[in-house]
Structure 1
Amino acid sequence: MKIYFPQWQGSGTGKSIKNGAKAILDYLNDPEFIHIPLSKIVAGKNGEKKYYINNYDAIYDQLNRLKRSIDQTRPKTIKIIGGDCGLEIVPVSYLNQKYPNLGVIWFDAHADINKPCDSPSCNFHGMPLRTLLGEGVNHMNPLLFSSIEASQIHYVGVRDIDDAEQIRIDNDEIYAPKKTDIIDLVKILKSKNISNLYLHFDFDCLEPKDYNKTYYQVPNGVTISEAEACIKALQENFSIVGSSVLESITTNTTELKPISKIIKLLMK
């Protein structure tokens, strides 16, 4: 199942994320992608905060729509053009239900594992992993098909971590190396008997000198060539049952050229 879901409300006010997703859709020109409509509930500057989550009603409304679509289709695989990272709670929880002990590879500059009450921004795109662990607000749990375990999470490129997030990572020794080591990552996954993977790819995992058309630019990231090599190694050693490309903000498809191989590897 190929899905175009340009959710931006999880970033607070970042409508540039919506436009960036559309550019990737246009670039791929693949008619197999289905469009899940976004909510018409007011969000952004005039959005309402509930349960420590900005734009809560809009996010819940459209994620529920995404869940219904996936539930009706029951796909074997999912590929998503998005959108902000908050959307991941639906496809990851679905594939985790379908493929027990799913490995979740989180290519991201940010840990995205805040509890809503600990989040400095109250933006949901910093909370999806905590929600997937079943440790977010109970009001979001109906959107989940299942919950994951901390041992299933593996970060690549993470380097901007809030204090509360670091405590959560340390408590369960979640895989979060300071430097990407592809051989080590493959070894760790195999040691856990993981055979199926979901590849979450937020483009801000990349070094901004390589690609800076992202919602955030965080220095000392993964190079484009490192990211390509890592994705290829994971594809060669495991079954990729889901993947996403998220939080690029350029509306100029020619500016996607540096990351074109990454997009095609994840969305092919």
Structure 2
Amino acid sequence: MITVLEVPQWDGSGSATARRLVPGAAFLASLVPADRHVRVPIGGTLAETAAQVRAALPDDGFPVVVGGDCGVDLAPVAAAASRYGDRLGVVWYDAHGDLNTPESSPSGAFHGMVLRTLLGDGPDPLVPAVPLWPAQVALVGTRALDPAESAFIRSAGIGSTPDPGAVVHVHVDLDVLDGIRSVGCPEPGGLTPEQLLAHVAGVAARHEIIGLTITEYAPESAVDEPMLRALVPALVRLCAGARARRIERIAASSWPAAETEERDGWLLRHTPGVGRRRSNSALPVGAPAVPSMEAFYDARQAPAVAQIAPADQHPELDALLESRGYALDGRTFVLTAPAVALTSDLEVTRHDDRASWEPLFAAITGDVSSMPVIARIDAPAAVFTVATAGLALAVTVDGWTGVFCMFTAPAHRRRGIATALLAAIGAWAPGPLYLQVEDGNTAARALYARAGFTLSHRYHYRTR
């Protein structure tokens, strides 16, 4: 779920066009493909507005904050720093460093101090409770720095790429673009829209992106509107979809196929003797070439199967495969939860000894067909059981724990078995959870909703 927060703040700007940021924020918000639209009221001071923004940030889904001046990103980044701590990285796309202090700023305008304030050195009412470290910040497209900002960057060691393990917040000041006219402080020599999208796509391929802010659109005319109508939705899709794409990569690693090859925009997977499509399907990970995928499966005398995941990010591929006669099935929801809010009085046993797993699957589920895949799991994993009535497998990769093979014996359904298994897995997992549930399984979806799971994305399969 995407929530757009429209923040028409202009009083942090030092530009003569500052008041144009108010209609600029409304226009940017109108371009965001959002499920919810919240217009944040502006307070009498920057601190009051920041408090209003923080109160409006959603508890779930993906937030897109649009301004307004760069100061609208104070509360979103501060909230992310409180939540993620040292795991957070901030990629700051901006022609300017926004690294002045009240003492060093030539203009005294707060939009030139926002990033320095987030680093703990700014106006007292605005410094966050959990400041960023310089190593958490990456500057991209920056080309107009005041002397004090240049000196700070050198001494602090601010770079241009986030830490490999970071979750990332993306900040885009539209003056990062070359030739844009509808900003208060344009600078020559910036990025083209295509270069900006390519760079953000690279970040999204390597990191989970947890928030996006787009700022500083101050229109005098409609000259930049056609470019923005294409750019803004594309930025949102890239950033909001990064977590879903990352979860699919993690799930592929957690459920390892016998043969895996990445080429021509696909993660190609083949596992002879195992019927599950996840380990016998092609996952799009770039610009997928259908003939290459078909050749891979033809060479193995196997059906060509594509997992359209995340479904909303591959409509053209889905339509192409349909036109080539591929049948659709396996509509599935992928749900995530930061933690599981469940308790149970049932006794759950965790089995860490992998030699015990196949006998447990045989005794409880009567199905050992997936054991060739499960035997290849080399990540932290455990099987959880409730006597002989229920079983689930949990696998942790890159901080995310996937719940697989959830099973309750028919004679024991509606007795809290699945609740007990989820509660035990949630207590064991080091971080957030994800799981897959078929579209038609309304009872399971209701259980997972009670446990705190929300929709991340959908997928389905196309089979030739």
Same fold (TM over 0.5): yes
Aligned residue among 89, 112, 115 for 2:98: 112
Instruction: Report Cα offsets for 1:133-158 as digits up to 9, x if no partner.
Output: 111132323xx252110011111110
Indicate how the Cα distance of structure 1 residues 238 and 7 shifts in structure 2: closer, same or farther if over 3 A, else same. Answer: same
Give, in whole Å, the separation in 2 of the partners of 1:261 and 1:237: 23
Partner of 1:89: 74
Instruction: Answer with 10-19 or 104-113: which moved more.
Output: 10-19
1:36 aligns with 2:40: yes
Report the residue type matching 2:70 in the other structure.
C
1:199 aligns with 2:189: no
Partner of 2:184: 215
How far off is 1:29 after superposition?
6.9
Give, in whole Å, the separation in 1 of the partners of 2:111 and 2:96: 10
Report if aligned partners of 1:107, 1:158 keep a CA contact under 8 Å in 2. Answer: yes
Instruction: Report Cα offsets for 1:92-128 as digits up to 9, x if no partner.
Output: 0111221232111110000001111111111100011
1:64 aligns with 2:51: yes
Report if aligned partners of 1:103, 1:198 keep a CA contact under 8 Å in 2. Answer: yes
Report if aligned partners of 2:33, 2:233 keep a CA contact under 8 Å in 1. Answer: no
Q: How does 1:87-236 map to 2 (within 5 A)?
A: 87-100=72-85, 101-141=87-127, 144-176=128-160, 185=161, 189=162, 192-208=163-179, 211-236=180-205
Indicate how the Cα distance of structure 1 residues 75 and 128 shifts in structure 2: closer, same or farther if over 3 A, else same. Answer: farther
Indicate how the Cα distance of structure 1 residues 159 and 255 shifts in structure 2: closer, same or farther if over 3 A, else same. Answer: closer
How far off is 1:224 after superposition?
1.4
Q: What is the DSSP-based 3-state SS (H/G/I as helix, E as strand, rest coil) of the residue aligned with 2:30?
A: helix
Give, in whole Å, the separation in 2 of the partners of 1:109 and 1:230: 15
- The structure with the largest helix share of the pair is 1
Relative to the length of structure 2, the TM-score reads 0.47
Bigger radius of gyration:
2
Report the residue type matching 2:175 in the other structure.
D
Relative to the length of structure 1, the TM-score reads 0.80
Instruction: Report Cα offsets for 1:5-54 as digits up to 9, x if no partner.
Output: 12111004511111211112234474612111112x4xxxxxxxxxxxxx
For this pair of structures, how many residues does the alignment match?
Answer: 232
Give, in whole Å, the separation in 1 of the partners of 2:28 and 2:146: 30
Percent identity at matched positions? 27
Q: What is the DSSP-based 3-state SS (H/G/I as helix, E as strand, rest coil) of the residue aligned with 1:136?
A: coil
- The structure with the largest strand share of the pair is 2
1:26 aligns with 2:30: yes
Indicate how the Cα distance of structure 1 residues 105 and 83 shifts in structure 2: closer, same or farther if over 3 A, else same. Answer: same
Partner of 1:11: 13
Report if aligned partners of 1:26, 1:253 keep a CA contact under 8 Å in 2. Answer: no
Provide the alpha-carbon RMSD of the alignment: 2.0
Indicate how the Cα distance of structure 1 residues 251 and 81 shifts in structure 2: closer, same or farther if over 3 A, else same. Answer: farther
Partner of 2:318: none
Give, in whole Å, the separation in 2 of the partners of 1:31 and 1:99: 25
Q: Unaligned stretches of 5+ in structure 1?
A: 42-57, 177-184
Report the residue type matching 1:81 in the other structure.
V
Question: Relative contact order: is structure 1 or structure 2 higher (C-alpha 8 Å, sep ≥ 6)?
Answer: 1
Indicate how the Cα distance of structure 1 residues 94 and 21 shifts in structure 2: closer, same or farther if over 3 A, else same. Answer: same
